[in-house]
Homo-oligomer: A and B are copies of this chain.
Amino acid sequence: MNDKTTIRRLPERAVEDRRVIDAILDEGFVCHVAYIVDGRPVVIPTLYARDGDRLLLHGSNSMGIARAVRRGSPLSVAVTHVDGLVVARSGFHSSANYRSVVVHGVGRILEGEDHAGALDKIIESVIPGRLADLRPSTRSEIDQTSVIELSLDEVSAKVRTGGPKDDPEDLDSEVWAGILPLHVVAGQPIASDDLTPNIAPPDYLVDYRR
């Protein structure tokens, strides 16, 4: 809200800068993946991680993503952060502040060491610090899970920030206008009922932030 002129001129903009795109991707861990089945689109949420110039999409073997990739369906993946509500003086200019990345491309199902390493990367991306505390995954566990790689070759972002962009004739309205910020926050870790006694939650959970 500081640079009002800029914000008002460009409230919603396409972003090509890979640093901005990567920051949006790295802040999230749930994406929405779209693919085609029998000529119809299907969209589902799943876990993911960014690994350099590729996304790693988590797919249990019962899920349709890997099946769709095997059958040749291209993918579209969206990662969206909703940062607030834009409370304008008209319905028309009411909106939401958000940062969204969309990736298009043909996915590839990972195999072998790349597959096992990708699963670890997703775990570590969802909870940074967790991987070092876990036993290695077994071959059977790895085989029951798919990871689909999607290159970031075809990627774009859209970002809306700042306050409402009301029409001049609405500015003397007596109606409140501004933004309502929205945040995702973590609560206190809740121990599993079967936890070995006297184990404290690790710092990477107590201090968890995206």
Contacts and interface: CB of A to CB of B under 8 A. Distances in A.
Contacts of A173: 135, 196
A171 B175 CA distance: 57
Q: Is the interface of A mostly helix, strand, loop or mixed?
A: mixed
Given A89-B134, A185-B182, A40 B104 contact: yes
Q: What is the total number of copies of this protein in its complex?
A: 2
A45 B166 CA distance: 23
B92 A137 contact: yes
A151 interface: no
Interface in A22-38: 29-30, 32-36
Contacts of A193: 1, 4, 163
Interface residues of A, number: 90
Interface of A: 1, 4, 29-30, 32-36, 39-45, 47, 73-78, 80, 82, 84-85, 87, 89-92, 94-96, 98, 100, 102, 104, 119-120, 123, 126-127, 130-131, 133-135, 137-138, 141, 144-145, 163-164, 166, 170-196, 199-202, 205, 208
